[in-house]
Amino acid sequence: MACAVLAGGLAGGLAVSLAAAPAAAQESGEPVAVFERPREAFDAKGLDLGGFRLFPSLSVSETYDDNIFADESGEEDDFITSVAASLVARSEWSRHSLRVVGQIRDQTFLDNSSQDRTEYLVRPQLRLDLAERNQADLSAEYSRQVIGRDDPEDTGEEDPTEFDRFQVNSGYTHRFNRVFVGGQVQVRRDDYVSTGDDDRDRIEYRFGLPIGYEISEITDVTLEPFFRIREFDELDETGADRDARAGGATIGIETELSRLVHIALDVGFIANDFEDPDFNDDVDFIVDGDFTWYVTELTTVKGRLARRDNATNTPGSSSKTQSTVSGEVQHELMRNVLLVAEARYVQDDFREVDRVDDRAIFSVGGEYLINRYVSIGADYRYVQRWSDDEDRDFSRNLVTLGLRTKF
């Protein structure tokens, strides 16, 4: 996670989480991660709209990138000016919750104007608190995104690869004493903007039926069978049909090993049934886990482990298995000086083609909170990739300085 002043991208980042982070956990005595902790003298108050509170933010940053195309040979450097704005509207009702996030980021390259890009996002999130601790959730997203040059899905074309994402998530949880059951539906559509990219357009549907049990106040276990449909608009350039039906299940636990160590872990399997007879139907292991250790009030350690079955745009490949391991250390050097360091390893294993990509990503950053309205930050990131595909190895260094204002 980048420091707040640099987090103007579509991931939401610390800029949004700090602006609208509730203080409930802090007030109840539960430990809170360093970046999520309320800071009375430095937190934005927002604008009171009567029932809603509005949190606007604007950031400007300058990045030096020594390999803007993530190229093995012919590395080209450039300076990138980013201007990002975000707006978070959060309800302040006694019951139910509505949160709407809007973000936009414009990046201008000094010497390579063909790489200029604008990304944006709108995401409303609604939670309905029903009787007997039952709950319904509904969220949606519309965004314009650009595939990063260090992403294995980048084709290496001169112009950036842009796509629009439309996504809707809904869920319902019903509780009977300690037992809870529910349903989840997700629909996601990725529509690529560039001419000739129609074979990358796709839609995915996922249906889940979680069933769980509250073992104690701090421990839940959940079993979730699920079914997924993935449909591409067109065959890929090799004539392969990547449409698939998949079913699987996960079993998970969310608990506290101690008051200062929290874990959430889901493990399971997914079985793919591909439309194309040239693709082998397979069963794969999947996992999704988070670990948080509140070392002290000033230091938080976070870890993440994931193994997923993802769609790919690589010609001749039905899909890919992406495995991720990451660790992050957050530290409060002073009340208004926040530091962060992250290490991440990502492997993309493409099926049916002889290609495995490994990426190592290291970053360090910091933010100095001048007052509740202004902060400055700095970030350094190093990316290294090793690939079985010819000419896809690279290394990359990025240094960023930025200024953020919030209200």
Which pLDDT belongs to residue 64? 98
Distance CA 16, CA 372 (A): 14
Give tens-digit pLDDT for 10-48. Answer: 333 333 334 444 444 455 578 999 999 999 999 999 999
Separation between Cα atoms, residue 378 and residue 400, nearest integer Å: 6
- Mean pLDDT computed over 237-246: 95
Query: Distance (Å, rounded) from C-alpha 97 to C-alpha 322?
Result: 34
Task: Tell me the pLDDT tens digit for each residue of 101-155.
Answer: 999 999 999 999 999 999 999 999 999 999 888 999 999 999 999 999 999 999 8
Please give the average per-residue pLDDT across 145-168, as a whole number: 93
Taking Cα atoms as reference points, which of 86, 85, 84, 87 lies closest to residue 107? 84
Q: Which domains does the chain have, with CATH numbers?
A: 4-406 (2.40.160)
Over the stretch 348-388, which tens digit does the pLDDT of each residue have? 999 999 899 999 999 999 999 999 999 999 999 999 999 99
% of the chain beyond a pLDDT of 90: 86
Residue spans of beta strands (DSSP E) within 335-393: 337-350, 355-369, 374-387
pTM over 0.75: yes
User: Rounded distance, CA 401 to CA 43, Å?
Assistant: 21
| C-alpha 380 chain-centroid distance | 20
Q: Which two tokens stand for residue 316?
A: 């001749």
Q: Per-residue pLDDT for 212 more than 90?
A: yes
pLDDT, residue 390, reads: 81
Alpha-carbon gap, residue 57 to 105, rounded angstroms: 12
Tokens of 200: 């990358």
Per-residue DSSP letters for 149-217?
A: TTSTT----SS--EEEEEEEEEEEEEEETTEEEEEEEEEEEEEE-STT-GGG-EEEEEEE--EEEEEET
Q: Are 232 and 206 in contact (CB under 8 A)?
A: no
49-99 pLDDT per residue, tens: 999 999 999 999 999 999 999 998 878 999 999 999 999 999 999 999 999
Of the CA atoms within 13 Å of residue 318, those in its CB half-sphere come to: 18
User: What gap in Å lies between CA 222 and CA 180, rounded to an integer?
Assistant: 9
What is the CB neighbour count within 10 angstroms for residue 202?
A: 19
Tens digits of per-residue pLDDT, 271-280? 999 999 999 9
Please tell me whether residue 95 adopts helix, strand or coil conformation: coil
Report the candidate in 5, 22, 101 with the shortest Cα–Cα distance to residue 405.
Answer: 5
Q: What is the pLDDT at residue 133?
A: 85
pLDDT for 157 equals: 87
40 within 8 A of 31, measured Cβ to Cβ: no
> How far apart are the C-alpha atoms of 143 and 165, rounded to whole Å?
5
**Cα gap 173→183, rounded to integer Å:** 7
Q: Which of 81, 49, 50 is nearest to 64 (CA)?
A: 81
- pLDDT at residue number 131: 86
Q: DSSP 3-state assignment of 113? A: helix
Give the separation between CA 145 and CA 141, rounded to whole angstroms: 12
